[in-house]
Amino acid sequence: MIASDVELGDGVVLCQPDLINLYGCRIGSGTRVGPFVEIQKDVEVGSNCKISSHSFLCSGVALEDGVFVGHGVMFVNDKYPRATAAEGSLQTENDWTCLPTTIRRNASIGSHATILGGVTVGEHALVGAGAVVTRDVPDYAIVAGVPARVIGDARTKTDSVRHETSEYVMNL
Ligand SMILES: CC(C)(COP(=O)(O)OP(=O)(O)OC[C@H]1O[C@@H](n2cnc3c(N)ncnc32)[C@H](O)[C@@H]1OP(=O)(O)O)[C@@H](O)C(=O)NCCC(=O)NCCS
């Protein structure tokens, strides 16, 4: 279901749109979204991102350009969730605080990672498969585990980052 209030940039590819749930979000040009993905209202997705199947992007999430989201990635925006408000009726939007999460440009989130609300994942960072990210991740860091800890530097691993970093150093 692609709601009428969704804003799609040029060349956005929705793989099997009948199996994708998008509402109230904005998707930048050239981004690809896989099947069984749900993207909630007010989410901002940059250009040329890849969002793999079965991932859930809740309100409060912002992906900058070139972000990779693996399969089954879960974003979280409510740190202390409750079904009901104090008097027992179902909670409304006024009964909880939505925590914002930012994934900076060209970062990658491994499959089945969980990103808690209120964190920023730095540019070109790599989040390992299955990690639970509870704190900010520095630019270029590789993090893994539960809770996620820094285990390496992405500049030593992927050609695209090495190339961009060496160009940057040459231009200094
Ligand atoms: C996190 C990651 C980038 C690390 O790669 P790397 O830097 O080459 O690390 P290594 O494989 O050399 O492993 C280093 C250590 O971290 C551990 N490790 C690697 N990935 C891990 C993960 N996801 N969770 C927990 N520990 C992990 C290894 O077991 C190893 O531990 P050891 O030193 O005690 O043996 C990679 O393993 C990963 O998870 N990539 C994401 C892949 C993915 O989800 N792709 C999505 C689409 S297919």
DSSP class per residue in 145-172: TTTTEEEEEGGGT-HHHHHHHHHHHHT-
The count of other CB atoms within 10 Å of the CB of residue 80 is 6
pLDDT one-digit tens code per residue, 58-93: 999 999 999 999 999 999 999 999 999 988 999 998
pLDDT at residue 30, rounded to an integer: 98
pLDDT at residue 161, rounded to an integer: 72
| Rounded distance between C-alpha atoms, residue 107 and residue 17, angstroms | 25
Closest atom of ligand 1 relative to the 70 alpha carbon: 46
| Rounded distance between C-alpha atoms, residue 19 and residue 102, angstroms | 26
Ligand 1 centroid distance, CA of 8 (Å): 34
pLDDT one-digit tens code per residue, 103-156: 999 999 999 999 999 999 999 999 999 999 999 999 999 999 999 999 999 999
Query: What lines the ligand 1 site, CB under 6 Å?
Result: 70, 110-111, 126, 128-131, 142, 144-145, 151-152, 157
pLDDT one-digit tens code per residue, 8-63: 999 999 999 999 999 999 999 999 999 999 999 999 999 999 999 999 999 999 99
